[in-house]
Amino acid sequence: MLRRITALLALVIVVSVLVNSPELIQAQGGQERGQKLYMQYCASCHGVDGKGGGVVAPEMKTMPTDLTRIPKVDGKFPALKVHQIISGEVGYRAHGAAEMPVWGQVFRRQTGDRARTQLDIHAIANYIESIQVR
């Protein structure tokens, strides 16, 4: 229990540091990586342009969300929320989103690396922020 809380806390700190330092991500080629990962893992449902018209979208009960129009929170892109939706930390299932895969586990299994996973998810969230229609 304590270990879980500690791990969670560490994660929150890592995420908030990353969210607040776009230069850091930029320096690591985050933008390009985010786009690549997006095309690889998300475009099939959310569309290459992010507007929700991916190739498998017609097969789905719930239409994938238009990711270029994520509602702002306090006038800002809700980076942390998007991060949590991707990694499955928020109870998105309760909102009827069982069809939205939980990527945190997928990425982690692939890389076996928690920090790497967080960076990848962050890169994707960053990419999604960059495609918002203003």
Question: Can you give the binding site for ligand HEC, defined by CB under 6 A?
Answer: 41-42, 44-46, 60, 62, 64-65, 67, 70, 82, 85-86, 95-97, 99-101, 103, 124
**Considering beta carbons, is residue 30 or 64 the nearer one to ligand HEC?**
64
**Considering beta carbons, is residue 6 or 132 the nearer one to ligand HEC?**
132
Phi, psi of 16 (to 5 degrees): -65, -35
Minimum distance between the CB of residue 102 and ligand HEC, rounded to whole angstroms? 10
Minimum distance between the CB of residue 59 and ligand HEC, rounded to whole angstroms? 9
- For 30, 63, 76, 109, 122, the CA distances from 97, given in Å and listed in that order, are 27, 10, 24, 22, 21
**Considering beta carbons, is residue 1 or 73 the nearer one to ligand HEC?**
73
Q: 48, 39 in Cβ contact below 8 A?
A: yes
- Identify which of 97, 122, 117, 99 has the alpha carbon closest to the alpha carbon of residue 107: 117
Minimum distance between the CB of residue 1 and ligand HEC, rounded to whole angstroms? 30
Q: ∠ at Cα 86 (82, 87), nearest 5°?
A: 115
